[in-house]
């Protein structure tokens, strides 16, 4: 059962159970939410493009588009769920309302896993772009890993101080990043794709992968769109979350799909799939910028001289802004996992001590410090080589897709279990099932994410063992905690007030 509530006398509509007062500050608007979500989703193109090209070769733009359609389904499900249940927790909260605490715990464990890996992989990629200024950051495993650990530690301190400060940083970096990607896309279309479109199509058709490569490429391409959870995690710190959260998610859908499509066209207009996968796998956008700056020949007119200055500065600009957007992703991962544990503690799915907030900064400082430390530990293998990069990508997909599948299932379940709940944002395109309206996008999203997740589990032994090992650890913690607290294992327990230290 969900938390009990009682309508007031005279109410004309059924009211949604309101989230109880909490010590987190409501300071985020649409652009604050968008920047946090975009920092997680948008940053992945800076490394996912190369990983996808390594597997899908010429089909990279196609599989990115297919994964983008699935991403749209997921974002729409989160828009309905977050507007209906504006509390931190994301898919863990949806699953708790729809299926009970056990499934909420499973979703929360998967989410925590994906957030920790997000922190690690985003921070690990930053030094490779900054290697433009100092080559050891890219070439030396030890120096690059130390730099990544330093980034995580710095952002841990920033998030302990407060979400508003880090949100301002997110917005500024997101605006700069979007502008830079738009510039790259425009230059590539004007000087490469428009005059020589056959080059792009030859790179695509002439390097088409096998069927297995195409299918697994779609699975890996989902890496480019993970991070939508961030918006839901911050709903309890959002002004008017039932309105602003769906708007932020829809804005993110539009911006991400346009930029990702444009960047993939720019990539295959300036280099071959093999050049992208082998020469620029960890910093593909830097490869695009390098191709633009070394190939375009500006004229001697005033416009040409201006273009020459832009092209000369472009690799520098990409290096700086790629690093900043990846820092945003690291920060978004920290914000997400800390708010997730804040919610799980209140739901009594984990020990409530983790949901305690700082008396001065009003942030869940314990979880911030804890999961930052775990992310730093995940970076230790980086001292011994670059293989950790691909493995982190696979682990990222494992956690996020499992959480997405549970989110879609929960939205469908809530349509049946609680059709009376107000839905400020309600998905359209429904089908009738036993008198209930079930959204087609949630059904398709559930099928797609489940199939892709199973494919990763079956084909990737490393991911399978590490992922299920983490989930088993989370299950043990849940069962032991609930047994000691004498709480039901399946049914929903009462919320508790988050402690303030």
51-66 pLDDT, tens per residue? 888 888 999 999 999 9
CA distances from 178 to 118, 321, 341 (A): 20, 9, 31
For the chain, which ranges sit under pLDDT 70?
1-27, 39, 162-170, 227, 233, 299-300, 353, 355-359, 361-362, 386, 494-501
Domains in the chain, ordered, with CATH? 32-484 (1.20.1740.10)
Q: What is the pLDDT of residue 499?
A: 45
- DSSP summary character for residue 280: S
Residue in 495, 496, 489 with CA at minimum distance from that of residue 99: 489
- Quote the pLDDT of residue 391: 83
User: What is the predicted pLDDT for the residue at 362?
Assistant: 66
| Angle separating helix axes 387-417 and 60-84, nearest 10 degrees | 40
Which residue is listed with tokens 């839905």? Answer: 423
What is the model's pLDDT at position 94? 92
pLDDT score at 278: 80
pLDDT of residue 446: 96
Q: What is the CA radius of gyration of the chain?
A: 23
Separation CA 384–CA 374 (nearest Å): 18
How open is the CA angle 93-35-177, to the nearest 5 degrees? Answer: 145
The 10s digit of each residue's pLDDT in 314-345 is 999 999 888 888 887 888 778 777 778 877 88
Q: Which residues contact 174 (CB under 8 A, 6 or more apart)?
A: 34, 35, 38, 39, 42, 325, 328
* pLDDT reported for residue 358: 67
CB 137 within 8 A of CB 126: no
Q: CB–CB of 400/92 below 8 Å?
A: no
Give the torsion through C-alpha atoms of 338, 39, 401, 55, to 10 deg: -140
* C-beta of residue 210 within 8 angstroms of C-beta of residue 55: no
Pull the structure tokens for residue 377.
């530990």
Return the DSSP state at 193: I
What are the structure tokens assigned to 332, written together? 């978004």
Residues constituting the chain: 501
**Which tokens is 439 given?**
């959204």
In Å, how far are 125, 138, 412 from 277, measured between CA atoms? 15, 16, 39
């Amino acid at each position: 059962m969900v938390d009990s509530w009682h309508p007031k006398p005279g109410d004309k509509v059924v009211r949604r159970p309101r989230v109880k007062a909490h010590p987190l500050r409501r300071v985020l608007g649409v652009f604050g939410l968008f920047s946090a979500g975009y920092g997680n989703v948008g940053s992945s193109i800076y490394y996912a493009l190369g990983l996808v090209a390594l597997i899908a070769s010429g089909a990279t733009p196609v599989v990115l588009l297919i994964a983008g359609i699935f991403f749209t389904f997921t974002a729409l499900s989160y828009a309905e769920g977050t507007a209906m249940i504006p509390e931190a927790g994301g898919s863990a909260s949806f699953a708790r309302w729809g299926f009970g605490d056990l499934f909420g715990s499973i979703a929360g464990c998967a989410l925590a896993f994906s957030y920790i890996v997000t922190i690690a992989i985003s921070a690990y990629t930053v030094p490779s772009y900054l290697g433009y200024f100092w080559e050891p950051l890219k070439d030396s495993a030890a120096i690059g890993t130390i730099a990544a650990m330093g980034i995580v530690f710095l952002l841990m301190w920033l998030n302990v101080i407060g979400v508003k400060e880090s949100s301002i940083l997110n917005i500024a970096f997101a605006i700069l990043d979007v502008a830079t990607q738009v510039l790259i896309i425009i230059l590539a279309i004007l000087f490469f794709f428009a005059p020589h479109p056959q080059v792009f199509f030859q790179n695509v058709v002439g390097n088409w992968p096998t069927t297995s490569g195409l299918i697994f490429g779609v699975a890996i391409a989902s890496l480019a769109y993970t991070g939508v959870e961030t918006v839901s995690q911050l709903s309890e710190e959002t002004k008017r979350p039932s309105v602003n959260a769906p708007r932020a998610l829809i804005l993110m859908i539009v911006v991400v799909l346009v930029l990702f499509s444009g960047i993939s066209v720019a990539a295959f207009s300036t280099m071959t799939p093999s050049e992208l996968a082998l020469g620029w796998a960890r910093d593909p956008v830097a490869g695009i910028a390098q191709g633009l700056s070394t190939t375009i020949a500006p004229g001697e007119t005033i416009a040409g001289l201006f273009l020459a200055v832009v092209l000369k500065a472009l690799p520098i600009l990409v290096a700086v802004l790629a690093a900043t957007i990846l820092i945003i992703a690291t920060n978004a991962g920290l914000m997400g996992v800390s708010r997730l544990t804040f919610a799980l503690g209140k739901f009594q799915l984990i020990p409530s001590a983790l949901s305690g907030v700082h008396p001065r900064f009003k942030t869940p400082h314990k979880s911030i410090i804890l999961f930052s430390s775990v992310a730093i530990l995940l970076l230790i293998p980086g001292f011994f080589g670059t293989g950790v990069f691909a493995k982190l990508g696979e682990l990222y997909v494992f956690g996020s897709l499992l959480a997405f599948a549970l989110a879609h299932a929960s939205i469908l379940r809530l349509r049946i279990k609680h059709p009376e709940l107000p839905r400020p944002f309600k998905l359209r395109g429904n089908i009738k099932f036993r008198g209930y309206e079930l959204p087609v996008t949630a059904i398709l999203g559930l099928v797609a994410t489940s199939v892709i997740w199973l494919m990763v589990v079956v084909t990737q032994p490393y991911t399978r063992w590490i992922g299920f090992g983490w989930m088993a650890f989370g299950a043990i913690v849940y069962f032991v905690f609930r047994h000691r607290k004498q709480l039901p294992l399946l049914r929903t327990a009462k919320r508790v007030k988050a402690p303030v230290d």
